[in-house]
Amino acid sequence: MKPDLIDSPAPPRAPHSLDALLTGWRELGSPWLLADMLTVLAVALVLGAAIAYHPSTRRRASSFEDVEQPKTILLYSMVAAIVALMVEVQPAMAFVIFGIGGLLRFRTDTGSAKDTGRVILVTVVGLSCGLKIFVVAVPATAMGWGLIWLLERQRTGTIKVSGVPESAFHEAVRAYREAIAALGCKLIGEQIRFTRREVVFVVDAPPTLSRETLHDGLDRVAAELRGIVELEQL
């Protein structure tokens, strides 16, 4: 519970006054209240990570979408915590958030699920600012920024190799595995499509590895085993 915010009824004040604005910033200067907000957000992320990075699901990850899904789960975990904090302060905001959620879902093209999570995150932060709940908006923005920076340092993507010679398909797959490992990439999963003479590697690449270096390293595979290389998200 946030005693400074909801337990004691505050004296009525004009919604668009200097006092209303300063009250929001004064709450941000309360160390215990700020610590409470940060604890709520941190616990939400820790518990969300326990589900997002469950070993059973990570072992079965075989596609780019499977590997990226935990990032989306973490963003939504944080969004849910911010929404709960806002509704605790202003219960009527539950209907507003529900309406905005429907608008984002059905009327906005936000791209992938991960991008949708970022859009919803900035939306609820904006709502917090509109309600002058800066003690929620500022820590949520800081933790969200740090979370996105941390997650996006993991450059996960796919390397698709097609047109591999059928007579040496397995040798070619092995050669590309070795080339990927030599570049410092971690092989997370792979999909072998023998009938189409194609293999898709899901890899975690170092942040400093450029696409040019990656292409050059894969081009070192022997000519008789080489296929057409396509990179996605790398």
Whether residue 6 is predicted with pLDDT greater than 50 in this model: the reply is no
pLDDT in tens, 167-216: 888 898 999 999 999 998 888 888 888 778 889 998 888 888 888 888 88
The fold for domain 155-232 equals Alpha-Beta Plaits (3.30.70)
**Nearest by Cα to 188 from 94, 66, 96:** 66
Question: What value, to the nearest 5°, has the Cα angle with vertex 233 and ends 219 and 202?
Answer: 70
Mean pLDDT value across residues 111-119: 68
pLDDT band at 63 (very low <50, low <70, confident <90, very high): low
* Helix, strand, coil share (%) of the chain residues, nearest 5: 65, 10, 25
**Nearest by Cα to 135 from 39, 14, 17:** 39
The per-residue pLDDT for 61 is 61
Domain assignments of the chain as residue spans, ordered by start: 12-152, 155-232
The per-residue pLDDT for 89 is 74
Q: Is 171 left (phi over 0), alpha (psi -120 to 50) or beta?
A: alpha
Residue 135 neighbours by CB under 8 Å, 6+ apart:
5, 24, 27, 28, 30, 33, 34, 37
Q: How many CB atoms lie within 10 A of CB 223?
A: 6
The per-residue pLDDT for 135 is 82
The per-residue pLDDT for 180 is 92
